[in-house]
């Protein structure tokens, strides 16, 4: 009998009362789902049973296992929360309600649905901004649905894992949508919770359906690793002998490399599979922390460590509580070998993350604080999302603050701070404490003063220099300056400005707008043309929004740039010098680019010339000028086709003037800024008077957005007083 087979798998730690409760949940859910089938034909109840099995393998509590069996009875069977409370109590009912709330979100797809039952998604041909808007709102509601207990996320992750395991039964379009959602939302959540077992499976399965060609290519290459696997087996034997001689008891295994992680490494390091596959890796598990360091010493004594490849995540554990020693050595065959060293407890934490300690919440005798530490870390990580009103910003913040790669920097007291990759000292300050962020005026990294746009790296020790009173600068919200990268930091800065007096925000916003328009050389622009874009009714409301940070000055500039061609006169748009057209040297043939073609030597057409194509035998299309005598003499006119040059990009020569206090290295700093932007310097002259230097530049710029960014970065250089566009006359 199936129920007996399921009950036989229950952990021995469950009490008799807990076993009876789970059996009751099993029979209740089986009756509720009777007659329902999955999209691939199996009885629907097979799904909750599979989810419960996944969680039991992770040593789930009895309440979690019961909730897993019941997790779809509300959404699919019409069971009410009151019924669940009457039958199973408050805790189990709350778990089921929270999972149902997540499953009911508009963007979340379900692999178990039949085609006629699936929830409407944003149309695939909808604007990308609309799709992002829907995804952001879904993420926001998911975070609210998590509520007070993040264990509900683990139930949903197990549910999604089983859906992915059965995804091949669905049509391809459904497979890709569900798989992409898994990579966008569920795999990163598993990673942030430290549940490696779920993370790698969700990533590999998601990758399999979103990029099947690359997945198959890597999988096939992995099957050809027989020789490499034999090498690893031999390495393990040698290491076991080595540790036995030192009387160290250890479990050594080859560390598995998963397909998606290999793919990411290939992308990040821009290497082919052949260059990645030579990396060998082993994992050594011992009984205690002291033995971890003994093993490290033995490994480093017998094999040469590779510089820069050692990380001590035991002394400085990651925020998701991951702990291990990582090192890489040159093995006796001259090839690199990666080694991880950890205790059994660390291994459990690494594989199951927050789930490794979820029994502590109910077993009061064993409370060690580890579970609550992980829960609190997750809550603090997600709390900022409730402060962000703009859905686009929330989505970007999720991709950077929550899901992006991390850097780990150190406070002067030795504490480790976890930040999104690319973070600056200001981001660090706000992560430590909001008030420290507000009062930041400088920073030291590894004992040396650095600018506030310095990009922090893992291992940096950061000290923030503060003032006693004061607040953040509005320049910190300017994305062109790169001073703040974290959405969490930006939301705290904007909140500070929102709390200021409306009149103060109005004044500052007006100054910012007037300064930006003056710097860009734009005069008499009617701001009422952009009010509807930012959902404000008056110019004053626009200024207040910009003053408190709700409306980014960069977005205003972008909108003005879009309206210029219709709202401004031509002489205001284009300076006195004519613009240049950069033309792609490819040719579009009858609407199809990249078709084989050659340029006729008789007339040597160049971009901008009117051209025509002649279909040859075996050499594609030959391109002639339309007035080429040879083309005009062609009698076989049916082989002549219309062709045109590739997409042209207009650039404009824009005169600028920089006013600055003269100093050594000023021109060099200006050159560095210009070299990092999509502009070209075509003229430069300068004059100096009483230590004030005026530098006149002419830049080829593709549009007003790029011009705004360049001027902002130039004006932010040390000693620069002003950087503006020069108006004619």
Per-residue pLDDT of 244-274, as tens digits, reads 988 899 999 887 668 888 887 777 666 666 5
Q: Using a CB cutoff of 8 Å and minimum separation of 24, what contacts does 464-469 make?
A: 464/425, 464/428, 464/429, 464/432, 464/436, 464/440, 465/440, 465/441, 466/429, 466/436, 466/439, 466/440, 466/441, 467/439, 467/441, 468/439, 469/439
Highest mean pLDDT among 275-284, 378-387, 447-456, 570-579: 447-456
Question: Token match 């830049």: residue?
Answer: 699
The C-alpha atoms of residue 684 and residue 484 are separated, in whole angstroms, by 32
Q: Strand 640-641 relative to strand 643-645: parallel, antiparallel, unpaired?
A: unpaired
> At 324, is the secondary structure helix, strand, or coil?
coil
Q: Give the other-Cβ count within 10 Å of 201's Cβ.
A: 20
What is the pLDDT confidence band of residue 66, given thresholds at 50, 70 and 90? very high
Q: Give the other-Cβ count within 10 Å of 705's Cβ.
A: 16
Same domain, 563 and 699: no
What is the mean predicted confidence (pLDDT) over 302-306?
A: 89
Q: Strand 406-410 relative to strand 597-599: parallel, antiparallel, unpaired?
A: unpaired
Same domain, 140 and 48: yes
pLDDT of residue 394: 57
Tokens linked to 410: 């150190």
Assigned domain for 371 exists:
no
pLDDT of residue 354: 55
Assigned domain for 64 exists:
yes
User: Could you give the angle at which helices 553-567 and 502-520 cross, rounded to 10 degrees?
Assistant: 50
What is the mean predicted confidence (pLDDT) over 342-350?
A: 85
pLDDT of residue 271: 63
User: Could you give the angle at which helices 666-675 and 704-715 cross, rounded to 10 degrees?
Assistant: 150
- Domain endpoint, select from 441, 468, 497: 497
pLDDT of residue 605: 77
pLDDT of residue 403: 54
Q: Which residues contact 77 (CB under 8 A, 6 or more apart)?
A: 32, 33, 36
What is the mean predicted confidence (pLDDT) over 482-491?
A: 83
Number of independent structural domains in the chain: 6
The C-alpha atoms of residue 144 and residue 138 are separated, in whole angstroms, by 10
> Are 710 and 698 within 8 A, CB to CB?
no
Residue 117 in this model has a pLDDT that exceeds 50: no
Assigned domain for 434 exists:
yes
pLDDT of residue 296: 93
The C-alpha atoms of residue 668 and residue 665 are separated, in whole angstroms, by 5
What is the pLDDT confidence band of residue 234, given thresholds at 50, 70 and 90? confident
Residue 110 in this model has a pLDDT that exceeds 70: no
Residue 464 in this model has a pLDDT that exceeds 90: yes
Report which of 451, 449, 453, 483 is spatially closest to residue 463, judged by C-alpha positions.
Answer: 449
The C-alpha atoms of residue 523 and residue 212 are separated, in whole angstroms, by 54
User: Could you give the angle at which helices 259-268 and 196-210 cross, rounded to 10 degrees?
Assistant: 70
End-to-end Cα spacing for the chain: 92
pLDDT, tens digit (0-9, with 9 covering 90-100), for 155-180? 888 998 998 988 887 888 888 888 88
pLDDT of residue 448: 92
Residue ranges with strand state E in 435-557: 440-445, 448-450, 462-466
Q: What is the CATH number of the domain that holds 678?
A: 3.30.70.260
Same domain, 321 and 174: no
pLDDT, tens digit (0-9, with 9 covering 90-100), for 648-661? 566 778 889 999 99
Assigned domain for 580 exists:
no
Same domain, 511 and 421: no
Same domain, 10 and 143: yes
Q: Which residue has the higher pLDDT, 319 or 459?
A: 459
H-state helical runs in 534-583: 539-548, 553-567, 570-573
Assigned domain for 361 exists:
no
What is the mean predicted confidence (pLDDT) over 19-46?
A: 87
Q: Which residues contact 643 (CB under 8 A, 6 or more apart)?
A: 587, 588, 589, 590, 597, 611, 612, 613, 621, 623
User: Could you give the angle at which helices 46-57 and 151-165 cross, rounded to 10 degrees?
Assistant: 120
Q: How long, in residues, is the chain?
A: 729
Tokens linked to 523: 């005069």
- Annotate 280-306 with DSSP letters as a single string: EEEEEEESSHHHHHHHHHHHHHHSEEP
Highest mean pLDDT among 43-47, 141-145, 185-189, 376-380: 43-47
> Are 396 and 487 within 8 A, CB to CB?
yes
The C-alpha atoms of residue 547 and residue 471 are separated, in whole angstroms, by 14
Q: Which residue has the higher pLDDT, 596 or 375?
A: 596
User: What single DSSP character describes residue 354?
Assistant: G
Same domain, 425 and 478: yes
Domain that holds residue 28: 2-210
Highest mean pLDDT among 127-136, 304-313, 654-663: 654-663
Assigned domain for 368 exists:
no
Assigned domain for 149 exists:
yes
List b or e across 675-693, with b for residues whose CB sees 16 or more CB atoms inside 10 angstroms: eeeebeeeeeeeeeeeeeb
pLDDT of residue 284: 93
Same domain, 158 and 111: yes
The C-alpha atoms of residue 567 and residue 158 are separated, in whole angstroms, by 55
Q: How many CA atoms lie within 13 A of 506 on its CB side?
A: 7
Residue 87 in this model has a pLDDT that exceeds 60: yes
Residue 390: phi and psi, rounded to 5, are: -80, 125
> At 538, is the secondary structure helix, strand, or coil?
coil
What is the mean predicted confidence (pLDDT) over 321-328?
A: 86
pTM recorded for the entire structure? 0.57
Same domain, 411 and 487: yes
pLDDT of residue 341: 94
Residue 379: phi and psi, rounded to 5, are: -65, -45
Same domain, 678 and 692: yes
Q: Could you write out the three-class secondary structure of 176-219? A: HHHHHHHHHHHHHHHHHCCCHHHHHHHHHHHHHHHCHHHHHHHH
What is the pLDDT confidence band of residue 111, given thresholds at 50, 70 and 90? low
Same domain, 310 and 457: no
pLDDT of residue 202: 92
pLDDT of residue 395: 56
Residue 123 in this model has a pLDDT that exceeds 50: no
Assigned domain for 367 exists:
no
The C-alpha atoms of residue 122 and residue 180 are separated, in whole angstroms, by 14
Segment (H or E) for 338? strand 336-343
Q: Strand 280-286 relative to strand 336-343: parallel, antiparallel, unpaired?
A: parallel
Q: What is the CATH number of the domain that holds 23?
A: 1.10.3210.10
% of the chain beyond a pLDDT of 90: 17
pLDDT of residue 414: 81
Tokens linked to 2: 């199936």
Radius of gyration for the alpha carbons in the chain, expressed in angstroms and rounded? 31
pLDDT, tens digit (0-9, with 9 covering 90-100), for 599-634? 887 877 766 677 888 888 766 788 888 878 888 888
Q: Which residue has the higher pLDDT, 363 or 396?
A: 396
Q: Which residue has the higher pLDDT, 414 or 255?
A: 414
> Considering only 274-288, 299-313, 454-468, which range has the smallest mean pLDDT?
274-288
pLDDT of residue 365: 42
Residue 118 in this model has a pLDDT that exceeds 70: no
pLDDT of residue 50: 92
Same domain, 229 and 206: no
Q: What is the CATH number of the domain that holds 238?
A: 3.30.460.10
Highest mean pLDDT among 265-279, 392-406, 461-475, 535-549: 461-475
pLDDT of residue 114: 43
Q: Which residue has the higher pLDDT, 130 or 336?
A: 336
Tokens linked to 707: 């011009």
Tokens linked to 340: 């991880």
Same domain, 93 and 188: yes
pLDDT of residue 120: 42
The gap from C-alpha 236 to its chain's centroid, in whole angstroms, comes to 36
Q: Using a CB cutoff of 8 Å and minimum separation of 24, what contacts does 287-295 make?
A: 287/249, 287/343, 287/344, 288/343, 289/314, 289/343, 291/248, 291/250, 291/343, 292/325, 292/341, 292/342, 292/343, 293/325, 294/246, 294/248, 295/243, 295/248, 295/250, 295/341
Tokens linked to 438: 């507000």
Tokens linked to 593: 């680019």
Segment (H or E) for 704? helix 704-715
Report which of 205, 165, 148, 155 is spatially closest to residue 182, judged by C-alpha positions.
Answer: 205
Residue 28 in this model has a pLDDT that exceeds 90: yes
Residue 595 in this model has a pLDDT that exceeds 70: no
pLDDT of residue 456: 92
């Amino acid at each position: 009998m199936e129920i007996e087979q399921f009950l036989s798998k229950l952990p021995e730690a469950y009490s008799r009362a807990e076993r009876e409760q789970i059996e009751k949940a099993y029979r209740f859910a089986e009756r509720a789902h009777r007659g329902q089938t999955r999209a691939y034909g199996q009885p629907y109840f097979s799904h909750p049973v599979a989810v419960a099995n996944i969680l039991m393998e992770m040593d789930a509590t009895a309440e979690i296992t019961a909730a897993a069996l019941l997790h779809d009875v509300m959404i699919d069977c019409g069971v009410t929360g009151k019924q669940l409370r009457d039958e199973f109590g408050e805790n189990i009912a709350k778990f089921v309600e929270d999972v149902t709330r997540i499953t009911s979100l508009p963007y979340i797809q379900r692999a178990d649905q039949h085609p006629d039952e699936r929830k409407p998604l944003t149309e695939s041909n909808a604007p990308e901004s609309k799709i992002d808007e829907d995804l952001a709102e879904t993420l926001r509601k998911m975070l609210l649905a998590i509520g007070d207990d993040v264990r509900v996320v683990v139930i949903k992750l197990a549910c999604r894992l089983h859906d992915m395991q059965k995804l091949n039964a669905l049509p391809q379009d459904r497979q890709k949508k569900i798989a992409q959602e898994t990579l966008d939302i569920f795999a990163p959540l598993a990673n942030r919770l430290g549940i490696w077992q779920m993370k790698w499976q969700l990533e590999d399965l998601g990758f399999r359906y979103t990029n099947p060609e690359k997945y198959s290519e890597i999988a096939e290459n992995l099957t050809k690793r027989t020789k490499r696997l034999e090498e690893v087996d031999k390495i393990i034997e040698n290491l076991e002998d080595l540790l036995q001689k030192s009387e160290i008891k250890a479990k050594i295994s080859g560390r598995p490399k998963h397909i998606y992680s290999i793919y990411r490494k290939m992308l990040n390091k821009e290497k082919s599979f052949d260059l990645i596959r030579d990396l060998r890796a082993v994992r050594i598990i011992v009984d205690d922390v002291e033995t971890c360091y003994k093993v490290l010493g033995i490994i480093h004594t017998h094999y040469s460590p590779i510089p820069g490849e050692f990380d001590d995540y035991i002394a400085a554990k990651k925020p998701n509580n991951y702990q291990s020693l990582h090192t890489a050595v040159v093995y006796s065959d001259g090839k690199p070998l990666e080694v991880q060293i950890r205790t059994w407890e660390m291994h459990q934490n690494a594989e199951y993350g927050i789930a490794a300690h979820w029994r502590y919440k109910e077993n009061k005798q064993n409370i060690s604080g580890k579970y609550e530490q992980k829960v609190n870390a997750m809550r603090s990580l997600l709390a900022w999302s409730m402060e962000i009103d703009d859905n686009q910003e929330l989505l970007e913040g999720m991709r950077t603050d929550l899901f992006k790669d991390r850097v780990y920097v150190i406070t002067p007291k030795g504490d480790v701070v976890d930040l999104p990759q690319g973070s600056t000292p200001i981001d660090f300050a706000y992560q430590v404490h909001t008030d420290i962020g507000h009062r930041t005026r400088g920073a030291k990294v590894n004992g040396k003063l650095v600018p506030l746009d310095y990009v922090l790296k893992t291992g940096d020790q950061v000290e923030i220099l503060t003032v006693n009173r004061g607040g953040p600068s509005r320049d910190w919200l300017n994305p062109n300056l790169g001073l703040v990268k974290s959405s969490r930091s930006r939301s705290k800065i904007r909140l500070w400005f929102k709390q200021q007096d409306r009149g103060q925000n109005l004044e500052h916003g007006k100054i910012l707008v007037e300064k930006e328009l003056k710097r860009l050389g734009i005069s008499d622009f009617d701001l009422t043309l952009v009010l509807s874009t930012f959902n404000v009714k008056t110019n004053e409301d626009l200024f207040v929004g910009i003053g408190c940070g709700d409306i980014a000055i960069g977005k205003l500039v972008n909108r003005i740039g879009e309206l210029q061609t219709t709202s401004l006169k031509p002489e205001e748009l284009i300076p006195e010098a004519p613009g240049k057209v950069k033309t792609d040297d490819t040719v579009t043939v009858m609407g199809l680019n990249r078709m084989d073609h050659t340029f006729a030597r008789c007339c040597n057409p160049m971009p901008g010339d009117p051209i025509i194509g002649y279909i040859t035998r075996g050499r594609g299309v030959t391109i002639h000028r339309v007035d080429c005598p040879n083309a005009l003499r062609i009698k076989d006119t049916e082989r002549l086709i219309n062709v045109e040059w590739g997409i042209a990009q207009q650039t404009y020569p824009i005169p600028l003037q920089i006013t600055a206090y003269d100093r050594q290295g000023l021109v060099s700093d200006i050159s560095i800024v210009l070299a990092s932007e999509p502009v070209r310097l075509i003229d430069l002259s300068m004059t100096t008077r009483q230590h004030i230097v005026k530098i006149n530049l002419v830049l080829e710029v593709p549009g007003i957005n790029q011009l705004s960014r360049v001027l902002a970065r130039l004006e932010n250089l040390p000693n620069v007083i002003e950087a503006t566009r020069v108006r004619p006359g």
